[in-house]
With several copies, the nearest count.
Chain A
Amino acid sequence: MIEMYHVYMAYQRDANALEDINLKIEKGSFVLLTGPSGAGKSTLLKLITCQEKATKGQILVGGRNIVRIRHSSIPYLRRNTGIVFQDFKLLNKRTIIDNVSLPLEIIGKSRKEIKHKAWNVLKMVGLQHKIASYPLQLSGGEQQRVAIARALVNDPAILLADEPTGNLDKENSEYIMELLRRANTKGTTIMLATHDKNLIENYHYRVVGLEKGKIISNG
């Protein structure tokens, strides 16, 4: 599903945020991406959705080389990808349900279907009583769950989750992991960036370790 060949990425000329990344993520797999703060986890995920451009190397997503993708094709790439951003990126002027509805609106689903799906997914993350609230009226963990709900609402082929449990307590974390596991079972390829040692130890998923922009463990 996702393949990277000799990928380099540098925000500034001299410092590589990623160096010679070679990675193959099979369709339907569940991969944890770990590494210390600043290792390059978020950067790697950003490359997959064209939020950032690789400086060198080739990246295939669903068989398609996205390194030289046209600006106008990027939206269609992203529609198959659910993203939980590390900083949530919720729209503060929209209610929770409107935030979660957005990916469905974008692909032009009917009003009824949107409402139905958005409500369901919010119920799944335990926020059905907050649908009319605005993001800034939620606690940090609640916002994070909205971000997860928004990423899942679309049944995406790929889910990129950047530290999705950083603001969640143990019970909520486990519950979210269970949700992701179910999505994975239904076919979604998942990459999850985390520092949470518990996640790594408790779930026996494939772990890719990054440090200073390089892959130091993979298996």
Chain B
Amino acid sequence: MVFIKTSYFLNKALDNIRQNPFVNLIAIGVIAISFLIFSTFLMLFSNLNSLLALWEEEIQIELFLDDNLSGEKIDALQKKILSMANVKEIRYINKEEALSSFKKSIPGMDVLVKDLNNNPLPASFEIKLAESSKSFDMVKAAAKKLSTIDGVNDAVYGQEWVERFSTSLAIARLVGLIIGAFLLMATIFIVSNTIKLTVYTRKEELEITRLLGATDRFIRLPFFIEGILQGLAGSALSLAGLYLAYRIFIIKVSSSVQASLVTGTFQISFLSTPTITYVLFGGMALGLFGSFISLGRFLKV
């Protein structure tokens, strides 16, 4: 067999693109838009995730302690709790601190407290759980377990809010994954079908080339390369568009609202470099896939 250089097929693919500017522009445009939808979603989803993670940070369990525990006992308790698998952080709050923060928390409280002859507020631990243990069920279970520890009077964790919040998180993530999977499939569908149409416009050319003695490989290779190039161009365009939108729009909006969103600082970020790479490779793979499934039916002569 005669050796045929790869550069020949690359040139052929570029020729094809040049010879069919109309269909190629449309294909690349449609691929770009599909990927723009998908990568916009990726960006929103990853930012939403970071934001939720920040908020999750703040879920904590308060552990009210029995009165009259000795300092050693408290130290031992603290060590014991911290050594539990899902506890990340623990902070001790003594009776005085509890009272003073209590005074601040409800207006008019100082009047009430003034009249007290002794401090009725218990000392407590503030406990932050590990990332992986922040679902409502796990917080609940952890609180229950903690409350049975000897020396612990009660465990409190803002039941209602935590429940609602962590459920929202779970839903948001689930919905996000479902939407992501759906968008991915939609992108694959749209891109591969668009490529199918572009191949279809060249049905005759394919048939003639085959009648002149071309092997399937000879016919396919330029189309595969063309598909890869279309996919690359489309996904690169989508990233460029998204980045532009991110610069001129999202940053502006976010800077005006982010301050109030979280206690810490939260910066809406662009897609990470690995994600960008995935998107580009995804574009190429999809272009290749699109050409691949399109060509079969036209190589029957």
Contact = CB atoms under 8 A, between A and B. Distances in A.
Interface of A: 49, 51, 72, 75-79, 81, 83, 85, 89-91, 93-94, 102-103, 105-109, 150
Contacts of B4: 108
B205 A49 contact: no
A78 B213 contact: yes
Given A79-B213, A83-B211, 7 more contacts: A78-B211, A78-B212, A78-B213, A89-B208, A102-B209, A103-B213, A107-B2
B212 A102 contact: yes
Contacts of B106: none
Nearest to A134: B19
B301 interface: yes
Contacts of A105: 8
A54 B20 CA distance: 29
Nearest to B299: A71
Nearest to A83: B211
Nearest to B202: A93
Nearest to B209: A102
A89 B2 contact: no
The SS class assigned to the A binding surface is: mixed
24 contacts: A51-B211, A51-B301, A75-B210, A75-B213, A75-B216, A75-B218, A76-B213, A79-B213, A81-B213, A83-B211, A90-B208, A91-B208, A91-B209, A93-B205, A102-B212, A103-B212, A105-B8, A106-B214, A106-B218, A107-B2, A107-B213, A108-B1, A108-B4, A150-B212
Interface of B: 1-4, 8, 19-20, 205, 208-216, 218, 301
Complex A-B, nearest 7 residue pairs according to Cβ-Cβ distance, in ascending order: A108-B2, A78-B213, A79-B213, A93-B19, A108-B4, A75-B215, A106-B214
Nearest to A49: B211
Give the interface centre of B20, B208, B216 by most chain A CB atoms within 10 Å.
Answer: B208
B13 to A, nearest CB: 14
A143 B215 CA distance: 25
A93 B222 CA distance: 15
A108 B215 CA distance: 11
Nearest to A95: B19
A76 B210 CA distance: 11
B277 to A, nearest CB: 35
Contact of B212 (A94, A106, A108): A106
Contacts of B8: 105
A51 B301 CA distance: 6
Contacts of A78: 211-213
A94 B19 contact: yes
A51 B218 CA distance: 18
